[in-house]
Chains A and B, each alone.
Chain A
Amino acid sequence: MLAFTLRRAIQAIGVMIAVGIISFSMFRFAGDPVNQIVSLDTPAAEREAVRKSLGLDDPVVLQFARYFGNAAQFKFGVSYQFRQPVSSLLMERMPATLELAACATVFAMVFGILMGVYSALKRDTFLAKVFQAVSLIGISLPTFLIGILLIYLFAVVLGWLPSFGRGEVVRLGWWTTGLLTISGLKALIMPSVTLGLFQMTLIMRLVRAEMLEVLRTDYIRFARARGLTTRAIHFGHALRNTLVPVITVAGLQFGSVIAFAIITETVFQWPGMGLLFVQAVQNVDIPIMAAYLLMVSLIFVTINLVVDILYTVVDPRLRSTLRRPT
């Protein structure tokens, strides 16, 4: 168990170093860090001086080490557009994104599993076919179109929900939350559904396929031969075995939910990291892009690690093979 966790942790660090190199190359070679400090009309001589003082004449390896050291302390430089430290910009916006991603994931898990189980167990019913059709449309409709559609329906036509922003937020230390106010909760609904719909579709398809697979296994047949009730077989045995791979995928998906939040945040003008990133891409604000890449990678890698460990908790086979490797 420990060895396994350790191995995964080393892999994770490897990934972070790779991403760090990419991020550093972007920062160093694609954009000119000197631009962060000086204004456009600064004379060349002065620029050179700044360049020296920043250590940009040092060997690349040394510069990378310095960049990585700074990044580890969340020092990512200064944004071109906002003239503010990137880290404070990101930290300010992180709660919005994480809250949105968490709500979207919960929505996707709950409905995805329910619909998947139903369409696996009642394969030929009308409702199961409706779910299948919904899943195909969910995969085919681009996220931003779903967002636009929802806004038109619930904000423009019906006027029930706000079309943009987070509503009122409550400040808890450095964290801001929309979960404690009515307007904050209302504002969360549409973005969460928009962001979660694709994941929901994915989870539903996965649950359905896995469940059908599990229902064909010998141990389910043997459970039936033992005369267990249909309910015990479906929800005790089949569902639990189905959920093992589903947890992994859903967990890994949380990373891409954060990335896909870029789109949702743009549609709903949600003040999160994604919106900041899109604005950075549009305005070629390299420090923000590089920092976002690092932050998101860090979240991804952490989630992967957590999911791996979680997996071993759920599946006893893994636990013991890890305990005593054969």
Chain B
Amino acid sequence: MTDAVVPHPVEPSVPRPHAGSGWLKRALDSDVFYSFRRSKMTMVAAAVTLLFFLLALLAPLLAVQNPFDPAQLQLMNSRISPLWTADGQSPFLLGTDEQGRDVFSAILYGLRISLTVGVLGVLFSGTLGIILGLIAGYVGGAVDGLIMRIADVQLTFPAILIALLINGVVKSVFGNSLDAMSTLTVLVFAIGLSFWVQYARTVRGSVMVEKNKDYVAAAQLIGLPAPVIMLRHVLPNAMGPILVIATINLALAVITEATLSFLGAGMPDTMPSLGTLIRIGNNYLFAGEWWIVAFPGLALASLILAINLLGDWLRDALNPKLR
């Protein structure tokens, strides 16, 4: 009878900053930034992630040697323990491995490889997933059924298995002696193909929701081509979840690359990623040369932890329902 709806809280009317001048101010004003500042853990995670990206970017400036260049490695410098131990030698901060490779430099360059594969893998899987999701959602029917059925089947298999298989197949087609750069491409390809499903499902879902809204009908009416409507109008609505998936998948992609390299199906010893370094170092663990495996392991673990923390926070911040 008089069961009136409780009035919605009226948003305080913030004066809209002029376009161009105020986007930064607006970003700093936003809820997302607010929750970012409230969580110390997230700020630390962001700082650590940024630090790792900077280290990777500036590797040539910070490293004492180029670990990929055999000419710079000297066997007489092999198996030196870290600087602060009794047998430590300058300039090898974190010691050296059996080939005389400086562990710190190797980590910096390995980080480059790991992050490159991770970022490219995420970009590739994201693009693939978004396009397939848009097509599935917009076209519907048999195309949708086919894409989603493939997604279902693929989802039952862990990404690492798929990546390993793709890797194996490519190797068998091109022979076992791929050079390092091609291996990197194969890894990006394998990781990209193993992670597209989540994007596709999310995008498809939001296309299904948006497709029937009036503004899409209006855009169709004025004759905008379907791809334009999809990219300009529908896709921006799915950007939040996509960003969350991408962040969490970056961590997964880095783990997957490291795992493949650890299993010997990834980056070769001549151009090692963090996973390759751990595999090499693992052989010296029993001999007591712990630093060869410990520091790359630590770097990998803290990188992934930081990205995961960011991803967790982003998911909560963009999804107010969970708070």
Give the segment of B8-16, B49-57, B297-305 that binds chain A. Answer: B297-305
**Mask of B242-286 contacts with A, CB within 8 angstroms, 1/0:** 000000000100010011001111000000000100100010011
- CA–CA, A280 to B161, complex, Å? 13
Within 8 A of B (CB), among A113-165: 136-137, 139-145, 148-149, 151-152, 156, 163
A193 adjacent to chain B (CB < 8 Å): no
7 contacts between A and B (CB under 8 A): A136-B308, A137-B305, A140-B308, A142-B255, A144-B259, A259-B157, A263-B262
**Contact across chains for A266 and B285 when beta carbons are under 8 A apart:** no
Contact B165 A260 (CB under 8 A): no
Interface: B6 (CB within 8 A) = no
Which of A57-65, A222-230, A281-289 is the interface stretch?
A281-289
CB neighbours of B285 from chain A (8 A): 148, 151-152, 156
Is the CB of B86 closer than 8 A to any CB of chain A? no
The answer to whether A15 and B153 touch across the interface, beta carbons within 8 angstroms, is: yes
Q: Tell me, yes or no, whether A277 is within 8 Å of chain B by CB.
A: yes
User: Across chains A and B, which 4 residue pairs bring their CB atoms closest together, nearest first?
Assistant: A140-B305, A281-B168, A256-B158, A259-B161
B residues adjacent to A (C-beta < 8 A): 153, 156-158, 160-161, 164-165, 167-169, 171-173, 176, 251, 255, 258-259, 262-265, 275, 278, 282, 285-286, 288, 290, 293, 297, 300-301, 304-305, 308-309, 312
Cα of A65 to Cα of B165 in the assembled complex, Å: 23
In Å, the complex CA distance between A19 and B312 comes to: 34
Inter-chain contact B160/A259, CB cutoff 8 Å? yes
Name the residue in A140, A152, A263 with the highest tally of chain B Cβ atoms < 10 Å from its Cβ: A140
Choose from B164, B259, B264, B309 the contact partner of A143 (Cβ within 8 Å).
B259
Query: B285 to chain A: closest CB distance in Å?
Result: 6
Q: Which residue of A lies closest to B312 (CB)?
A: A136
> Could you say which of A140, A144, A280, A297 contacts B262, with CB atoms under 8 Å apart?
A144
User: In the complex, A301 Cα to B262 Cα: how many Å?
Assistant: 28
B312 partner residues in chain A, CB cutoff 8 A: 136
Query: What B residues does A262 contact at CB under 8 A?
Result: 160-161, 164, 263
User: Which residue of chain B lies nearest to A11 when distances are taken between CB atoms in the complex?
Assistant: B152
| Across-interface contacts of A309 in B (CB, < 8 A) | none
A140 touches B167 (CB 8 A): no
Least distance between B303 CB and chain A CB atoms (Å): 9
* Residue A304 lies at the interface, judged by CB distance under 8 Å to chain B: yes
Q: Give the distance in Å from the alpha carbon of A252 to the alpha carbon of B282 in the complex.
A: 32
Given contacts A280-B168, A296-B161, 6 further A-B contacts (CB under 8 A): A148-B278, A156-B288, A259-B157, A263-B259, A283-B176, A284-B176
Give the CA-CA distance A144 to B167 in the complex, in Å: 19
| CB of A269, distance to nearest CB on chain B (Å) | 11
A281 to B251, CA, bound (A): 24
Most-contacted residue by chain A among B169, B305, B312 (CB, 10 A): B169
Task: State how many angstroms separate the Cβ of B86 from the closest Cβ of chain A.
Answer: 19
Q: Does the CB pair B265–A282 fall under 8 Å?
A: yes
Give the complex CA separation of A137 and B288 in angstroms. Answer: 25
Contacts of A152 in B (CB 8 A): 285, 290
